[in-house]
Amino acid sequence: MRPFEYARAGDPADAVARFRPGTMYLGGGTNLVDLMRLGVAEPEFLVDVSRLPLDRIEPDGDGLRVGAAVRNSDLGAHPLVRERYPMLARAVLAGASGQIRNMATVGGNLLQRTRCPYFQDVSKPCNKRQPGSGCPAIGGDHSNLAILGHSPACVATHPSDMAVALAALDARVHVTGPGGDRVIPMPGLHRLPGDEPERDTVVEPGELVTAVHLPAPPPGASHYRKVRERASFAFALMSIAAALDVAADGTVRDCRIALGAVAHAPWRCERAERALRGAPAGEESFTRAAEAELEQARPLPRNAHKVPLARNLIVRTLLELAP
Amino acid sequence: MEITLRVNGSRRTVEVDPRVSLLDLLRERLGLTGSKKGCDHGQCGACTMLIDGRRANACLALAVAQDGSDITTVEGLADGDRPHPLQAAFIEHDAFQCGYCTPGQLCSAAGMLAEGGPSAVTEDLAGDPALTAEEIRERMSGNLCRCGAYPNIVTAIAEVAR
């Protein structure tokens, strides 16, 4: 690990004031410390924001405000999250292990890096780690990488479970930085790779996530489902956060669908949602909606199985949510 | 950098390089070799200890970031000569083979029993479910045992959970 300086910030303004090129903010460290040990991240200065007074979960209007330093375990266990945002509680509980959830923060969970094997291996080229060096995943092991929104430069996926639920819930991410405070709506925090795969999000250098605001929960039933290679403590092969509100006449009044592990960002299924609104809540509509979304899928030679997986995951989850 | 920790009840002030993990500090500098280094990536749980009462992977915790924290390692679980109930149950139920993962299993179980709330396998998010074997397996999934002593580990923890 390369030598670095360390300082503990007293408040968010202090953290931002300490930022200079080569600085990274340290939350729980469950991803960053590992990346530093692997040589993938080489900060010159770590500003520790894990103990900032951003650790509260509070009602905010008809929604909820979650501080960026809230631990994942406290988010998943909070009574208001369990009662009003079950898909978020389920997503958080499906992530990592008890130990890691105790350490990992909400801000760090959002800004964690991809687990693409080439990104994590400094002996390999990677456009995300070293822009312009190439993407060996495209001709190599991409069986668990993107089918949607990828580019010739990068086929990585975002690994978070929590972020998939936040994308479905229309969460807003509050950041503070050298240019002041701003609010970033949640599908929109994470970027698609394009020709700048080194940029995971629209967060600018020096900006610090301070909170996540959840608007009122969507009406109807909701769920988070995760498909993985073993029953626990594994990243998703694919996941879905979905909510379905069905009117008395059996038609879909509203719905939310977001997929995880299919793209460089949590993938909000806007085409499927549009196709579903007003349609009868049943298998035929659900299948048509899933297919409308997946028309834009561009699977790679070794991950074509993820297209039917996505279709089946959408249809099966909506069937479970339908009355 | 100088940091102060409370380790198993004793105040310890040490000078550390910012790169040093909490695990390496305790094992290499403070002589507490009970916590084990398995993967050093947060994937195996052998280094699990309690930081301010909560279980954590000490390999992913920078020592400098723990300044002011209260640390409990496997050496601090027993009450003098009286083993912790989990230690007694692990012996009673033969919950290990080689023993390398055991300190992490014990600290993880101690932290887990204090946590409560639902898990990924809990049907009803509203309540605190009973710690069935299925719940224990899910909640302990951050601790690997390459000898495969899982059935007896679950039995030992279930006995203490009752």
3-state secondary structure of B106: helix
* B32–chain A nearest CA distance, Å: 20
CB B108 to CB A82 under 8 A? no
* A158–chain B nearest CA distance, Å: 19
* B122–chain A nearest CA distance, Å: 10
Question: CA dist B80 to A135, B8, B84, Å?
Answer: 57, 12, 9
Chain A with chain B: Cβ pairs closer than 8 A: 104
Neighbours of B115 (CB within 10 A): 16
Whole-angstrom distance between the N-terminal and C-terminal Cα of chain A?
54
Residues of B in contact with A83 (CB under 8 A): 125-126
E-state strands within A61-159: 63-67
Please compute the mean of the pLDDT values over residues A29-35 and round it to a whole number: 98
| pLDDT one-digit tens code per residue, B103-125 | 999 999 999 999 989 999 999 99
B44 and B60 in contact (C-beta within 8 Å)? no
Is the pLDDT confidence value at B127 over 90? no
Q: What gap in Å lies between CA A111 and CA A162, rounded to an integer?
A: 11
The A208-214 sheet, strands edge to edge:
A57-60, A63-67, A208-214, A172-177, A180-185
| pLDDT one-digit tens code per residue, A176-196 | 999 999 999 999 999 999 999
A246 and A172 in contact (C-beta within 8 Å)? no
pLDDT band at B145 (very low <50, low <70, confident <90, very high): very high
CB A33 to CB B21 under 8 A? yes
Mean pLDDT of chain B: 97
Neighbours of A67 (CB within 10 A): 22
Mean pLDDT of chain A: 98
Please compute the mean of the pLDDT values over residues A52-70 and round it to a whole number: 97
Q: What gap in Å lies between CA B127 and CA B63, rounded to an integer?
A: 36
- Among A50, A83, A98, the residue with its CB nearest the CB of B112 is A98
Whole-structure pTM value: 0.98
**pLDDT for the residue numbered A162:** 98
- Among B18, B42, B62, the residue with its CB nearest the CB of A100 is B42
**pLDDT for the residue numbered A211:** 98
Q: What H or E segment, with its residue span, contains residue B12?
A: strand B10-15
**What token pair was written down for B140?**
């302990």
